[in-house]
């Protein structure tokens, strides 16, 4: 499975956050899955890649905008250069079987919403994409966004319940439990 991870590139995050990225990377590597991520050598991106590599991951795909090429993570076994951030999102989504949203800023939220939009359109045009989107809602960080997505899905403006289909988990153990269930399907 290709596990696309959206997350923060910020440094010096608390161990309660970095441990989630480490557990995810370890699960990816031990399970023989591929990590697909933003490819930057910083923050949760690098921590996830480091844990995956340490656990034996053979496929670490970094999708980096050309202007961040100098920040590419040396752990990448494959580097995909994108024209810009929009191209990066498209390429990340193309690679995904499962999407995991870790704590992050505006870029992470943008990637999450873009993924849901893509999956919604796939369903509408009959391709039936059913890729799971798992969101680590650490300390309720994404509560308001998840509520907004539910409100939108219930409104007259929504065409698909996919908008509110993200699976919210609170910690690394819940994340791994969901990934294990998906892996058995």
* Residues of the domain holding 168: 2-180
Closest CA to 7 of 41, 49, 37, 52: 37
Inside any domain, residue 39: yes
Inside any domain, residue 38: yes
Spans of the chain, pLDDT less than 70? 124-129
Inside any domain, residue 110: yes
Please tell me the predicted confidence (pLDDT) of residue 44: 98
CATH number, domain containing residue 99: 3.40.50.450
Inside any domain, residue 185: no
Inside any domain, residue 116: yes
Query: Count of domains in the chain?
Result: 1
Decide: residue 167, CB within 10 A, 0-12 exposed, 13-18 middle, 19+ buried.
middle
Please tell me the predicted confidence (pLDDT) of residue 125: 63
Please tell me the predicted confidence (pLDDT) of residue 124: 66
Inside any domain, residue 170: yes
Output phi, psi for 41, to 5 deg.
-85, 60
Please tell me the predicted confidence (pLDDT) of residue 185: 79
């Amino acid at each position: 499975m290709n596990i696309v991870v959206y997350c923060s590139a910020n440094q010096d995050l608390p161990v309660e956050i970095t441990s989630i990225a480490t557990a995810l990377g370890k699960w990816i590597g031990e399970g023989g899955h591929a990590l697909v991520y933003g490819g930057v050598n910083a923050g949760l991106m690098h921590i996830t890649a480091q844990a995956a590599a340490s656990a034996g991951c053979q496929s670490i795909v970094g999708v980096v905008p050309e202007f961040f090429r100098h920040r590419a993570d040396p752990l990448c076994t494959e580097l995909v250069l994108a024209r810009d951030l929009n191209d990066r999102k498209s390429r990340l989504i193309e690679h995904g079987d499962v999407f995991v949203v870790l704590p992050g800023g505006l870029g992470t939220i943008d990637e999450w919403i873009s993924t849901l939009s893509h999956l919604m359109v796939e369903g509408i045009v009959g391709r039936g994409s059913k890729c799971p989107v798992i969101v680590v809602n650490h300390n309720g960080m994404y509560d308001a966004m998840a509520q907004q997505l539910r409100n939108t899905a219930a409104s007259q403006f929504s065409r698909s319940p996919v908008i509110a289909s993200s699976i919210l988990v609170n910690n690394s153990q819940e994340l791994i439990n969901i990934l294990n269930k998906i892996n058995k399907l």
